[in-house]
Chain A
Amino acid sequence: MSEHVTCKELVDFLDDYLEDRLEPPVRRRFEEHLDACPPCRVYLDGYRDTVRLTRSLCDDTDAGPPAAMPETLIRAILDSRRRS
């Protein structure tokens, strides 16, 4: 990475930035770019929200009213056991 981080480099290394895997000097250049580039800040915020949204749905098997399963499917599953 050169002296200045470009918008493309910022996006390419976004996961490393968010997971704090960048060397301190590189991280500083990242933050300089963010300070100077509002569109990249908007991009970063949206990316972070996106990851947060998907993560919030992990393991939702207990959550909310479960989907209604067709009775035919329930019967088919139970029948498959009796057949085997």
Chain B
Amino acid sequence: MLSLVDPSLATAEDERRLIAALRAGDDAAYETLVRTYAPRLFPVARRIVASDAEANDAVQDAFISAFKSIDRFSEESSLRTWLHRITVNAALMLLRSRRRRPEQRSIDELLPRFEANGHRVDTGGGWSTAAVEGLEREEKRRLLTRLLDELPDDSRTVLVLRDIEERGTAETAEVLGITPGAVKTRLHRARQALRTLLERELSE
């Protein structure tokens, strides 16, 4: 059985062999693929769907569609990049099919308020940049996942696609079926809301 415990250490040759084995229907190769990538794809799905159970479902859906399309996988991309994309799509599809969190809070509560003359009303004290930069990567990831869960689905997905997945405005608009203008507006509001959540977290 091929070993790909850390996919970042796999050589192009390892990957070519794995792909060939997958295409040949080799069970051990499928097991390697799933054991290697499922844990790494989980956080990708988790940021989009906002629950562990749904993230597991999204990862499973992603592999099912990857299994079906392994013959069409183009070796210009890496397996990791390819699976990552499929997982984002699977998570978005799952979210769409299960839109059922009617109790979601309005994002307005997390936006800054202004007087009629445009003057700022409430000002938080901010935080020191060092407080964020001092966090371990894993702590940052956990903190961000938890705060993202507090955003409404439509804000969270735009923020994840634009700022974490680094998709462009046009592509995000297409994936979500909204206009580029709506992407920009939602992104701006989502960033402001996340800023408020972060401030509450870091100034406590």
Contact = CB atoms under 8 A, between A and B. Distances in A.
B98 interface: no
B112 A62 contact: no
Contacts of B63: 77, 80-81
B23 interface: no
Interface string A56-84: 11111111111111100110111011001
Contacts of A32: none
A54 B138 CA distance: 13
Given A66-B40, A78-B34, A7 B114 contact: yes
A11 B191 CA distance: 11
Contact-residue bracket for chain A: 35 or more
A73 B126 contact: no
Nearest to B187: A15
Interface stretch (B12-20, B100-108, B159-167, B170-178): B159-167
Contact of A42 (B6, B126, B159): B126
Given A54-B163, A77-B38, A46 B140 contact: no
Contact-residue bracket for chain B: 35 or more
A83 B15 CA distance: 25
Interface in A12-49: 14-15, 37, 39-40, 42-43, 45-47, 49
A67 B129 contact: no
Contact of A46 (B114, B119, B120, B198): B198
**Most chain A Cβ neighbours within 10 Å, of B67, B118, B144, B165:** B118
13 contacts: A50-B194, A51-B191, A52-B132, A53-B140, A62-B80, A63-B137, A64-B137, A73-B38, A73-B56, A74-B34, A76-B60, A78-B30, A84-B64
Interface of A: 6-9, 11, 14-15, 37, 39-40, 42-43, 45-47, 49-70, 73-74, 76-78, 80-81, 84
Given A62-B80, A67-B39, 14 more contacts: A42-B126, A45-B126, A46-B124, A46-B126, A46-B127, A46-B195, A49-B195, A55-B166, A58-B163, A60-B137, A61-B43, A61-B84, A78-B27, A84-B64
